[in-house]
């Protein structure tokens, strides 16, 4: 149920509650029986300026105009909102061109009927329209204008906008830069006032945050030279500010210049359509293929004010949820020929809720006038106590372009308007700006994924922790997981090794024997195999760096190596189990006298063993195979002891973990064979060796990572989607770049000689 919001001055003068209740009852009756408007005198006219068919800029009227028409239908259907009246929209296309917009505005104003307010979209158009509208005492409500310049109340005294200002993005960008420790950024902008004023605000905020602006590049229509200059300046974190048509050209050019991937972070504007880098490529003569555009777009960040109510099940003032509105809008757009089912949305689809809520803001802004008319009609006693209401008693039909008094009343009403709309909670600041949260997204695997939200007013960043720590990412987390799983398997085998035979039936004992062997063999292969594959990768990188510095070891090769070792294990264990399975063998010892017994009895100790007929042969095969792996792992670790690898200290600890496993295995295997008949000593020695080896390996590999995360909490991986983030720091990239250039120069010198 929608609640009537009373003006504060009205509330202060309401003292007689019985009279107010009676007036409200009469108001309800009048509203209920009020017929729809039968003539043009009861129609309130508003003008609409929508950018639809232009070739540049923001053509968001394609989706915003249908949304505004839906809002008009819903507003006029509500009998309790504008009793006896209806809103009518008169609109035309501005093509996002200020000159054409001025002509459209002139025609709207000087052609009957007289307009009560104006709706407009596109920042350049709103700048022109709002600056002139004050001369006609007209309120302008912009549904698609983000220019920070529009916040100037001296220049635009009658402007409101349901679209948040672009300056809400800058605090979000600064917050992210601080979060990830980015201290050098570059700016690429289109030469439009909306972006120029945004950049000026961003530069001021960067200066306050001690963030260096490496370079600021601008362009009119062709971004080629500007992008090349970014490459010359070695820009890594780049903020891009341009319309979507120019964004496609920028994306293609940065693909050509190789300014994308894990070594670069791009901030794009978030109000583009989700598939903006996949559409209109042929129509705009983009010289990149669809796959190239997708590759270049992967990983970029966007910031956008929330334009859709995030609670899909929450009923808004219109009675619809945001999902209900989406379905209605999609149905209308299908009728207009848009291929919604193929994810081909018209421009302005994201801003459609803003246009819908703009019409509701108009209706709610003029609603208090009708409320007062009915209150005065219902009870003449209010004339003494509600002098303030007399001001609102004037009919809106009396408004003309010279009536500043009614215009000021409309301004005050809209300025205090607050409601829950399709775009979320709608309220305006003292500058007429929309108050909203900022959403942060990143393209991951071709789709936008929400990373978090930022509340500018409260300085509160809600982060979903989708990024990963660089120290973990660079150490192959999948291999680490495999190693941990292998350690868990080995520790599980310890419990089976210590299982008391009294609690196991003779028939089940062979199964326990075979399970022990399988767990120990596979656990060792998984844990040591993962460490072995990583040390092999480092050995490959250090030995092949000179011959092919750009070649990297793909992660699948590491996983294939561990899988290969598991296959060998599987073949040996299956052959052993099928041809000569482990069985329960009882070793009997000489008779012994009991410690305290008067009976004439003797005790014969017995010891259970898990053995097969050719037990020593099978053990020799397994020890030989795993011994070769141990020795080869030792060799690789030793060979890379002086290699200049990244994170040298952490790799040194990884080598120590290899040595730890090799030494303990070479000691434990022969010792257990010697003391096999001493049950307590054998179990204690084996269990201690397994537990000590496992926990020491985990400590050597993971404790340094935990310390690194605590010491450098901002050292995040630049990209979540890259599984092999071997090089991510700017200094390392510059070093590699210099190495490549040096090799090219040496090659040229050798050719000349």
What span, in angstroms and rounded, lies between the C-alpha atoms of 247 and 558? 39
Q: Which two tokens stand for residue 272?
A: 């583009």
| Number of domains within the chain | 3
Task: Single out the residue of 318, 347, 316, 312 nearest to residue 333, CA to CA.
Answer: 347
Given the structure tokens 């030279």, which residue do they identify? 225
Given the structure tokens 């007062």, which residue do they identify? 372
Residues 575 and 680 both lie in one domain: yes
Residues 235 and 274 both lie in one domain: yes
pLDDT over threshold 90, residue 36 = no
pLDDT over threshold 90, residue 409 = no
What pLDDT, on the 0 to 100 scale, is given for residue 741? 73
The CA–CA distances, whole Å, from 715 to 470, 507, 650, 725 equal 6, 57, 16, 13
* Lowest mean pLDDT, pick from 64-78, 329-343, 447-461, 628-642: 628-642
Residues 6+ apart with CB under 8 A from 546: none
Residues 152 and 205 both lie in one domain: no
Residues 551 and 672 both lie in one domain: yes
Residue 181 CB neighbours (<10 A): 11
33: in domain: no
Mean local confidence (pLDDT), 545-555? 57
What pLDDT, on the 0 to 100 scale, is given for residue 532? 86
Share of the chain above pLDDT 90, in %: 34
pLDDT over threshold 80, residue 164 = yes
Q: What is the CATH number of the domain that holds 238?
A: 3.40.50.2300
Do residues 292 and 255 lie in contact, with contact meaning Cβ atoms separated by under 8 Å? yes
Helix (H) or strand (E) holding 493, with range, is helix 477-497
What pLDDT, on the 0 to 100 scale, is given for residue 7? 34
Residues 87 and 195 both lie in one domain: no
Q: Which two tokens stand for residue 497?
A: 């090794």
Given the structure tokens 């158009």, which residue do they identify? 125
Q: Write down the H helix ranges in 282-351.
A: 290-297, 322-335
177: in domain: yes
Q: What is the CATH number of the domain that holds 503?
A: 1.20.1070
Do residues 356 and 328 lie in contact, with contact meaning Cβ atoms separated by under 8 Å? no
Determine how β-strand 301-305 pairs with β-strand 438-444.
antiparallel
pLDDT over threshold 50, residue 120 = yes
What pLDDT, on the 0 to 100 scale, is given for residue 729? 46
What pLDDT, on the 0 to 100 scale, is given for residue 414? 86
pLDDT higher for 472 or 428? 428
Q: Report the DSSP beta bridge partners of residue 49.
A: 92, 120
Q: What is the DSSP-derived secondary structure letter of residue 428? A: B
244: in domain: yes
Residues 6+ apart with CB under 8 A from 480: 472, 530, 701, 702
What pLDDT, on the 0 to 100 scale, is given for residue 731? 52
Residues 512 and 609 both lie in one domain: yes
What pLDDT, on the 0 to 100 scale, is given for residue 12? 31
Do residues 683 and 498 lie in contact, with contact meaning Cβ atoms separated by under 8 Å? yes
Residues 180 and 160 both lie in one domain: no
The CA–CA distances, whole Å, from 695 to 275, 703, 746 equal 49, 11, 49
What pLDDT, on the 0 to 100 scale, is given for residue 246? 93
Residues 538 and 618 both lie in one domain: yes
Q: How confident is the model at residue 739 (pLDDT cuts 50, 70, 90)?
A: low
What span, in angstroms and rounded, lies between the C-alpha atoms of 74 and 452? 33
Q: What is the DSSP-derived secondary structure letter of residue 40? A: G
3: in domain: no
What span, in angstroms and rounded, lies between the C-alpha atoms of 139 and 399? 12
* Lowest mean pLDDT, pick from 16-30, 298-312, 358-372: 16-30
The CA–CA distances, whole Å, from 634 to 23, 487, 539, 660 equal 93, 19, 12, 10
Q: Which two tokens stand for residue 535?
A: 């040390």
What span, in angstroms and rounded, lies between the C-alpha atoms of 428 and 161? 8
736: in domain: no
What span, in angstroms and rounded, lies between the C-alpha atoms of 545 and 169? 42
3-state helix/strand/coil string of 581-645: CCEEEEEECCCECCCCCCCCCCECCEEEEEECCCHHHHHHHHHHHHHHHHHHHHHHHHHCCCCCC
Residue 664, burial from CB neighbour count under 10 angstroms (0-12, 13-18, 19+) = middle
The CA–CA distances, whole Å, from 597 to 589, 591, 593, 606, 727 equal 20, 15, 8, 20, 75
What pLDDT, on the 0 to 100 scale, is given for residue 274? 85
* Lowest mean pLDDT, pick from 118-132, 143-157, 169-183, 607-621: 607-621
Task: Single out the residue of 363, 364, 397, 392 nearest to residue 376, CA to CA.
Answer: 392
What span, in angstroms and rounded, lies between the C-alpha atoms of 418 and 349? 24
Residues 350 and 403 both lie in one domain: yes
Q: Which two tokens stand for residue 36?
A: 């729809």
pLDDT tens-digit map of 268-320: 998 888 889 998 898 899 999 999 999 999 999 999 888 888 788 889 999 99
Determine how β-strand 419-421 pairs with β-strand 424-426.
antiparallel
Do residues 486 and 525 lie in contact, with contact meaning Cβ atoms separated by under 8 Å? yes
What pLDDT, on the 0 to 100 scale, is given for residue 102? 94
pLDDT over threshold 80, residue 252 = yes
CA 266 to chain centre: 14
Long-range contacts of 552-560 (CB under 8 A, 24+ apart): 552/724, 552/726, 554/724, 555/476, 555/478, 555/723, 555/724, 557/533, 558/476, 558/479, 558/530, 558/533, 558/534, 559/478, 559/479, 559/482, 559/533
Do residues 532 and 633 lie in contact, with contact meaning Cβ atoms separated by under 8 Å? yes
Q: Which two tokens stand for residue 647?
A: 């994170």
735: in domain: no
Do residues 283 and 324 lie in contact, with contact meaning Cβ atoms separated by under 8 Å? no
Residues 641 and 692 both lie in one domain: yes
pLDDT over threshold 70, residue 473 = no
Q: Which of 86-100, 547-561, 650-664, 739-753 has the highest mean pLDDT?
A: 86-100
Task: Give me Rg for the CA atoms of the chain.
Answer: 37
Do residues 366 and 82 lie in contact, with contact meaning Cβ atoms separated by under 8 Å? yes
Q: How many residues does the chain have?
A: 753
Burial 333-347 (b: 16+ CB within 10 A, else e): beeeebebeeeebbb
Helix (H) or strand (E) holding 187, with range, is strand 184-190
Task: Single out the residue of 343, 346, 338, 395 nearest to residue 369, CA to CA.
Answer: 395
Task: Single out the residue of 214, 170, 472, 182 nearest to residue 303, CA to CA.
Answer: 170
Q: Which of 696, 711, 726 is the last residue in one of the domains?
A: 711
What pLDDT, on the 0 to 100 scale, is given for residue 475? 66
The CA–CA distances, whole Å, from 655 to 13, 215, 531, 634 equal 82, 44, 9, 8
596: in domain: no
pLDDT over threshold 90, residue 440 = yes
Is the C-alpha dihedral spanning 575, 580, 583, 587 positive or negative?
negative
734: in domain: no
* Lowest mean pLDDT, pick from 89-103, 212-226, 356-370, 458-472: 458-472
**Which domain, by its residues, includes 269?**
168-306+436-463
Q: Which two tokens stand for residue 229?
A: 């200059």
Residues 6+ apart with CB under 8 A from 587: 606, 607, 608, 609, 677
Do residues 661 and 693 lie in contact, with contact meaning Cβ atoms separated by under 8 Å? yes
Residues 507 and 635 both lie in one domain: yes
What span, in angstroms and rounded, lies between the C-alpha atoms of 385 and 70? 40
If you average pLDDT over every residue of the chain, what do you get?
A: 80
pLDDT tens-digit map of 647-677: 455 567 777 888 888 888 888 888 887 887 7
What span, in angstroms and rounded, lies between the C-alpha atoms of 380 and 358? 35
What span, in angstroms and rounded, lies between the C-alpha atoms of 731 and 727? 10
Residues 174 and 127 both lie in one domain: no
What pLDDT, on the 0 to 100 scale, is given for residue 367? 61
What pLDDT, on the 0 to 100 scale, is given for residue 218? 93
* Lowest mean pLDDT, pick from 50-54, 147-151, 353-357: 147-151
Residues 6+ apart with CB under 8 A from 502: none
What pLDDT, on the 0 to 100 scale, is given for residue 193? 78
């Amino acid at each position: 149920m929608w609640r009537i919001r009373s003006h504060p001055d009205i509330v202060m003068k309401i003292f007689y509650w019985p009279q107010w209740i009676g007036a409200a009852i009469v108001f309800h009756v009048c509203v209920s029986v009020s017929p729809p408007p039968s003539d043009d005198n009861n129609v309130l006219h508003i003008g609409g300026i929508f950018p639809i068919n232009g070739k540049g800029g923001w053509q968001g009227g394609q989706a915003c105009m249908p949304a505004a028409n839906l809002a008009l239908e819903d507003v006029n259907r509500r009998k309790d909102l504008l009793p006896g009246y209806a809103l009518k929209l008169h609109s035309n296309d501005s093509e996002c061109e200020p000159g054409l917009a001025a002509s459209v505005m002139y025609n709207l104003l000087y052609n009957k009927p007289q307009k009560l307010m104006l709706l407009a979209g596109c920042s350049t158009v709103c700048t022109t329209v709002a600056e002139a509208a004050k001369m006609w005492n007209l309120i302008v409500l912009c549904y698609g204008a983000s220019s920070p310049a529009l916040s100037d109340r001296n220049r635009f005294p009658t402007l409101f906008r349901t679209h948040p200002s672009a300056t809400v993005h800058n605090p979000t960008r600064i917050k992210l830069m601080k979060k990830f420790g980015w201290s050098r950024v570059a700016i690429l902008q289109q030469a439009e006032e909306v972006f120029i004023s945004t950049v000026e605000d961003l530069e001021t905020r960067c200066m306050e945050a001690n963030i260096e602006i490496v370079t600021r590049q601008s362009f009119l229509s062709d971004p080629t030279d500007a992008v090349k200059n970014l490459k010359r300046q070695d820009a890594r974190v780049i903020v891009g500010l341009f319309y979507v048509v120019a964004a496609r050209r920028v994306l293609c050019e940065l693909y050509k210049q190789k300014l994308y991937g894990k070594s670069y972070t791009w901030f794009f504007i978030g109000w583009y359509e989700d598939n903006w880098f996949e559409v209109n490529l042929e129509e705009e003569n983009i010289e990149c293929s669809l796959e190239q555009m997708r590759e270049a777009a992967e990983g970029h960040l966007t910031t956008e004010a929330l334009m859709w109510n995030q609670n899909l099940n929450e009923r808004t003032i219109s009675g619809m949820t945001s999902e209900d509105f989406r379905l209605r809008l999609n149905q209308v757009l299908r009728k207009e020929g848009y291929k919604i089912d193929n994810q081909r949305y018209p421009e302005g689809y994201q801003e459609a809720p803003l246009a819908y809520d703009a019409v509701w803001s108009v209706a709610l802004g003029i609603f208090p006038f009708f409320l007062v008319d009915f209150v005065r009609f219902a009870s003449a006693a209010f004339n003494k106590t509600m002098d303030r209401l007399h001001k609102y008693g004037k009919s809106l039909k009396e408004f003309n372009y010279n009536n500043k008094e009614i215009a000021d009343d409309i301004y005050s009403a809209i300025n205090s308007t607050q409601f829950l709309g399709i775009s979320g909670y709608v309220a305006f600041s003292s500058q007429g700006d929309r108050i909203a949260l900022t959403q942060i997204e990143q393209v991951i695997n071709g789709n936008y994924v929400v990373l978090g939200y930022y509340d500018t007013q409260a300085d509160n960043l809600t982060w979903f922790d989708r990024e990963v720590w660089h120290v973990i990412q660079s150490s192959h987390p999948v291999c680490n997981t495999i190693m941990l799983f292998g350690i868990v398997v080995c520790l599980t085998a310890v419990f089976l090794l210590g299982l008391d035979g009294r609690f196991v039936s003779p028939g089940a004992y062979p199964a326990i024997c075979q399970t022990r062997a399988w767990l120990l063999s596979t656990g060792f292969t998984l844990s040591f195999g993962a460490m072995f594959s990583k040390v092999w990768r480092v050995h490959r990188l250090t030995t092949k760096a000179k011959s092919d510095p750009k070649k990297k070891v793909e992660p699948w090769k590491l996983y294939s190596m561990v899988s290969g070792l598991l296959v060998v294990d599987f073949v040996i264990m299956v052959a052993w189990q099928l041809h000569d399975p482990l069985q329960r063998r009882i070793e009997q010892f000489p008779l012994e006298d009991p410690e305290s017994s008067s009976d004439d009895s003797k005790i014969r100790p017995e010891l259970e063993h898990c053995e097969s007929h050719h037990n020593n042969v099978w053990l020799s095969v397994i020890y030989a195979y795993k011994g070769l792996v141990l020795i080869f792992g030792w060799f690789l670790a030793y060979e890379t002891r002086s290699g200049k690898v990244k994170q040298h200290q952490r790799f040194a600890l990884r080598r120590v973990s290899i040595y730890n496993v090799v030494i303990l295995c070479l000691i434990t295997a022969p010792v257990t064979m010697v003391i096999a008949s001493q049950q307590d000593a054998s179990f204690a020695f084996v269990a201690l060796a397994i537990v000590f080896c496992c926990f020491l390996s985990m400590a050597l590999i993971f404790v340094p990572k935990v310390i690194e995360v605590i010491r450098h909490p901002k050292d995040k991986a630049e990209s979540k989607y890259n599984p092999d983030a071997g090089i991510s720091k700017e200094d390392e990239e510059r070093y590699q770049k210099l190495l490549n250039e040096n090799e090219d120069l040496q090659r040229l010198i050798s050719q000349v000689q």
